[in-house]
Amino acid sequence: MAATAEWLDQDYYRVLGVPETASDKEITRAYRRLARRLHPDTNGGGGDAQRFGEVTAAYDVLHDPEKRREYDEARRFAASRRSAGAPPWPHGVSVRVNRSGTGTGPGRARRVSVENLFGGDPGQGLGAVFGDAFAGSRTGPAGRPRRGADVEAELELPFEEAVRGTTRALRVGSQTVTARIPAGVADGQTIRLPGHGEPGTDGGPPGDLRIRIRVAPHPLFGRSGRDLTVSVPVTFPEAVLGVDIAVPTLDGPVTVRVPPGTRSGATLRVRGRGVPPSGRAGGNPGDLLVTVEVDVPRQLDERQRAAVEALAQALPQPSRAHPGV
């Protein structure tokens, strides 16, 4: 993802409450602390969805070494422009354009930056800034129709939008493209939009736009194929006796029964609460896989320690007889 003007609207270090010299571990710890407090599904619905979105966007940039480097360079670039009396950043413009190959054959592709379109003049895209910098890739022998070059781009999506699907208006160079992202799109997957690449020459067809999807991490959920995963803590008595617990899903909490005698690390399946089927592929939705983790307290007062010792005396001891021991 190339650095854009939107990056300069936020001081991501301030959003996470870390210094600019913070290590990746410090950034991750700060994000997890804030995400637990702000997520809408935590703290009895007392989260802050807007603030959570800002924190997630900041983490998505700062935890990735390449994005963080580009973000820091963009901030320095804007600061130098301000000191020179120039506008800090031209609206809607990306500062990195990587070209792979020249010419217009099907095997050629030009890599550009993709931005979400939130207003502004579409003419202020890459074409307005770089003019005819790409003209050399559009020429070929006269009279022979040639297909236009494919254009490759990246689009980053929040975790929930990737699961549910979305529609985005994108600016690629000087053109505006509406892309429908199907439900369940995975990190690294490529969406192809035919006819939205470079124009053909001498009557040849245009190339395609290939959008590689990057999915931001979620503070609670993971993903395995069409299934979502989540871990929930239970106490030792709850694991022994069984308990009904509230488990978060993307559509709100559900009640899950933890059977008596459940071991730590056991997985419970909540059917139909995973990734929904896409309109084209159809099929059934995935499931939510709930991993039960027995919470072992690290510190006990005298009364608690006495109770645990009494329980240890009352319970049968496990067999530790193993061959060779």
8 and 83 share a domain? yes
Whether residue 317 is contained in a domain is answered as no
CB of 285 closer than 8 Å to CB of 272: yes
200 and 94 share a domain? yes
- Tell me the CATH number at 64: 1.10.287.110
pLDDT number for residue 97:
33
- Output the tens digit of pLDDT for each of the chain's 325 residues: 444 445 566 789 999 999 999 999 999 899 888 888 887 666 555 567 778 878 888 888 898 888 888 888 777 766 665 665 545 544 433 433 333 333 444 444 444 444 443 333 333 333 333 333 333 444 444 568 888 888 888 889 999 999 999 998 887 777 788 889 999 999 999 999 998 888 888 888 988 999 999 999 999 999 998 999 999 999 999 999 999 999 999 999 999 999 999 999 999 999 999 998 875 556 788 999 999 999 998 899 999 999 989 988 888 887 777 766 6
In this structure, what is the dihedral angle of CA atoms 5, 6, 8, 10, given to the nearest 10 degrees? 170
Number of continuous H segments (helices) and E segments (strands) in the chain:
9, 14
132 and 164 share a domain? yes
Whether residue 310 is contained in a domain is answered as no
Overall domain count for the chain: 3
**For the whole model, what pTM was predicted?**
0.55
Q: Which contacts of 71-74 are long-range, i.e. CB under 8 A and separated by 24 or more positions? A: 71/3, 71/7, 71/12, 72/20, 73/3, 74/3, 74/4, 74/7, 74/8
Contacts of 235 (CB under 8 A, 6+ apart): 294, 295
Residue 27, class by beta-carbon neighbours within 10 Å (0-12 exposed, 13-18 middle, 19+ buried)?
buried
pLDDT number for residue 106:
41
In the chain, which ranges are E strands? 98-100, 109-111, 114-116, 150-157, 166-172, 175-181, 190-193, 209-215, 222-224, 227-234, 243-247, 254-258, 267-270, 288-294
pLDDT number for residue 112:
45
> Which residues constitute the domain of residue 131?
90-216
- Tell me the CATH number at 149: 2.60.260.20
Strand partners, 98: 111
144 and 179 share a domain? yes
227 and 197 share a domain? no
- Which residue, chain included where needed, has tokens 């699907």? 165
Count of CA atoms in the C-beta half-sphere (13 A) of 249: 23
Euclidean distance between CA atoms 122 and 128, whole angstroms:
9
pLDDT number for residue 136:
40
160 and 139 share a domain? yes
